[in-house]
Amino acid sequence: RAKEEGRDRYAMFDEEMREAAVQSLDLEADLRRAINHRDFVPYFQPITRLDDGQVVGYEALLRWQHERRGLLLPAEFISLGENSGLIEQVDWLLYEQVIEQVARGGEGYVSVNVSPRHFRSPDFADRLLGLCDKHGADTTRLRVEITEVALLDDAPRTLRMLRTLRQHGVLAQLDDFGTGFSALSYLHRFPISALKIDRSFIAGMGEDGRPESLALVRAILALASTLGIDTIAEGVETDEQRAALLELGCRFGQGYLLGRPAARIGGLVTA
Ligand code: C2E
Ligand code: MG
Ligand code: MG
Ligand code: MG
């Protein structure tokens, strides 16, 4: 009996594994097709001043308009994209649309997310600047968001790339700060204009949050202030969080309280 049940369980397990494998294969085939069809669009989420709510920029967020499944979020396909190496092609399709949007004019910056994979290709900066040139986009209105991994992975190359971008007016912000191996000793060597404090710390700041979060936010703000760089709090969802961050000296925020990601850039930026 027990043996039989065991066998059944194995059979079931096999079946589930097979399904998962087939599904991810399907999705990979879908992703390849979507690249050919250019089925990706940027959504834009405002980044605002925490004191008066003034929009200073937008983050461009990747969305996949899947032919059957509707609008997909990065969580549903980004790791597949990273593992298959397809993310780079997807990103370039997105960057071009974002740069076209920037070229239409307006105020404030638009930041794009850069997968650490891109830092392995030596022509990343030139290619990005080339797209700006092609569309006549003001490079000072484009920013890149990189993660701490990129600083560690191939530091000399990342440094070169960020320097090239900065020389041409493209500033860099450090995304999800505090979740990686925050290489504090490295930080001052890189031309980073802002730290984006990861959402998990902001979520933990309230009374029912994790007690260390507030201390960590305070420490990150002190560090940024020492280095003379801006701070953007991610995932600001409540007015209590907004007020607390402001009180602690954080100037900028992004989150559902301040504005949701949307298919279009709101009034302030469009020409
Ligand atoms: P991220 O760069 O940290 O982007 C912020 C994420 O937080 C976005 O999720 C945004 O919708 C979400 N968010 C913003 N405000 C709030 C809030 O108040 N509460 C909560 N719970 N969430 C909030 P999204 O668009 O699903 O993107 C997830 C991640 O996917 C991004 O995290 C980024 O790492 C990656 N990603 C997004 N766009 C691109 C892209 O074009 N290329 C690459 N390589 N990765 C991208
Ligand atoms: Mg980002
Ligand atoms: Mg982020
Ligand atoms: Mg994040």
Lowest-confidence pick of 54-63, 141-150, 181-190 = 181-190
Taking only the tens place, the pLDDT of each residue in 235-264 is: 999 999 999 999 999 999 999 999 999 999
Confidence of residue 198 (pLDDT cuts 50, 70, 90): very high
Ligand nearest to the CA of 232: 3
Q: What local confidence, expressed as pLDDT, does residue 269 receive? A: 41
ipTM of the complex: 0.98
Taking only the tens place, the pLDDT of each residue in 137-154 is: 999 999 999 998 888 877
Q: What local confidence, expressed as pLDDT, does residue 271 receive? A: 36
Q: Per mean pLDDT, which of 44-53, 116-125, 172-181, 202-211 is the most reliable?
A: 44-53
27 lines ligand 1 (CB under 6 A): no
Burial class (CB in 10 A: 0-12, 13-18, 19+), 229: middle
What residues contact residue 69 under an 8 Å CB cut-off, 6+ apart?
A: none
Q: What local confidence, expressed as pLDDT, does residue 154 receive? A: 75
The rounded Å distance from CA 167 to ligand 4 centre is 27
What's the whole-number mean pLDDT along residues 40-64? 98
Taking only the tens place, the pLDDT of each residue in 7-44 is: 666 666 677 777 777 676 689 999 999 999 999 999 99
d(CA 77, CA 63): 10
202 lines ligand 1 (CB under 6 A): no
256 lines ligand 1 (CB under 6 A): yes
Token representation of residue 153? 């992975």
pLDDT reading at 86 higher than 50: yes
The rounded Å distance from CA 198 to ligand 2 centre is 10
Output the residue whose Cα is nearest ligand 1's atom 45: 113
The rounded Å distance from CA 11 to ligand 1 centre is 38
39 lines ligand 1 (CB under 6 A): no
Q: Helix 211-227 crosses helix 239-248 at what angle (to 10 degrees)?
A: 40
| SS3 per residue for the chain | CHHHHHHHHHHHHHHHHHHHHHHHHHHHHHHHHHHHHCCEEEEEEEEEECCCCCEEEEEEEEEEEECCCEEECHHHCHHHHHHHCCHHHHHHHHHHHHHHHHHCCCCCEEEEECCHHHHHCCCHHHHHHHHHHHHCCCHHHEEEEECHHHHHHCHHHHHHHHHHHHHCCCEEEEEEECCCCCCHHHHCCCCCCEEEECHHHHHCCCCCCCHHHHHHHHHHHHHHHHHCCEEEECCCCCHHHHHHHHHHCCCEECCCCCCCCECCCCCCCCC
90 lines ligand 1 (CB under 6 A): no
113 lines ligand 1 (CB under 6 A): yes
Token representation of residue 85? 């190496």
Closest ligand 1 atom to residue 82 Cα is 44
176 lines ligand 1 (CB under 6 A): yes
241 lines ligand 1 (CB under 6 A): no
Output the residue whose Cα is nearest ligand 1's atom 12: 235
